[in-house]
Structure 1
Amino acid sequence: MTPHLRVARDAPQQVWIAFGGQADQFWLRPLRRGFRHCFAALRDEAGWTVLEPLSGRLIVARLAVPASFDLPGFYTRAGLAVVGPFAPGPARAGWLPSLLPCTCVGLCRAVLGAGAPRALTPWGLFRRLAQNLCPYEKKILPTAVN
């Protein structure tokens, strides 16, 4: 049994997961509109780091904005759905390496740690993360509808 994700209030590092995306690759078309891609944004006392898995590469960017900058709000205004904050958990230990390909969902689950919900698509991850937040701590920033 994996531990539940912890909702972060005053954690030294917080994780936000953003969802969005157009079908710019043909294999993304079957995925739910607005939930064809996800990426992670981490906040610590020094600022923001964004982990953006793209087709064939991974972008890790340290943003030149202060830690007090409202990056989740910025992403929401840009039309993305954002859920969080979560405290990253410990790594998932296993006997065998994962046989799944490295995807945006896999990267976000790895950042969340051992308590990350099982999901194969960005929509599945969004639903499970949104369910995991307590009603009084719910901080889901809605996506703009096209």
Structure 2
Amino acid sequence: MSGEEMPRALVVFSGKAELAWLRLLRRGFRHCFVVVETQAGWLCLNPLAHRTALDLWPLALEFDVAGWLRDQGLIVVEARLIQPPRRQAPVSLYSCVEAVKRVLGIHAAWVVTPWQLYRYLTNAENNP
């Protein structure tokens, strides 16, 4: 990764729901987190209900992180980090989706559930 290149990001979706109300969300899309490639490995930002976990996974850059996550039954989408316009992001409740959107630079106010984020990211127009 050169100094001018934007790092790769992987958005990861899970169907696990430890909180009862999360079971109302679409099966397979009840939580999301983001993993960003850095020179030191992969930085994982996992926004949980009780805290936000920030962990460095010191893996070789050639390691297939997406495949490893998929092997654990997770859904993985490669995403671009974009430079959004320099204006206030839409006001929203803090959630795993909102945290991931902020990392990626997404200002789509209508994207509020993990399923909506998945659909947004898998639309080629939004994530070429």
| TM-score after normalising by structure 1 | 0.74
RMSD value, Cα: 2.6
What runs of 5+ residues in structure 1 fail to find an aligned partner? 1-9, 138-146
Looking at structure 1, the residues matched to 40 and 6 of structure 2 have their Cα atoms a distance apart, in angstroms, of 10
Tell me, what secondary structure is at the counterpart of 1:11? coil
Residue matched to 2:59? 65
Looking at structure 2, the residues matched to 76 and 119 of structure 1 have their Cα atoms a distance apart, in angstroms, of 23
Q: 1:18 to 1:117 in 2, by over 3 A?
A: farther
Instruction: Indicate yes or no: 2:12 matched with 1:23.
Output: no
Asked if the contact 2:15–2:30 (Cα under 8 Å) also holds between the matched residues in 1, the reply is yes
* Among 40, 43, 60, the residue aligned to 2:37: 43
Instruction: Indicate yes or no: 2:81 matched with 1:87.
Output: yes
Looking at structure 2, the residues matched to 64 and 91 of structure 1 have their Cα atoms a distance apart, in angstroms, of 32
Per-residue CA deviation, residues 8-55 of structure 1 (Å, 9 max, x unaligned), is xx9341111000132211110110011000000000233110000111
May I ask how many residue pairs the two structures share in their alignment? Answer: 125
Looking at structure 2, the residues matched to 87 and 59 of structure 1 have their Cα atoms a distance apart, in angstroms, of 20
Q: 1:41 to 1:131 in 2, by over 3 A?
A: same
Q: 1:26 to 1:20 in 2, by over 3 A?
A: same
| TM-score after normalising by structure 2 | 0.84
Instruction: Indicate yes or no: 2:27 matched with 1:33.
Output: yes
Moved over 3 A (4+): 114-118
The percentage of aligned residue pairs carrying the same residue is 35
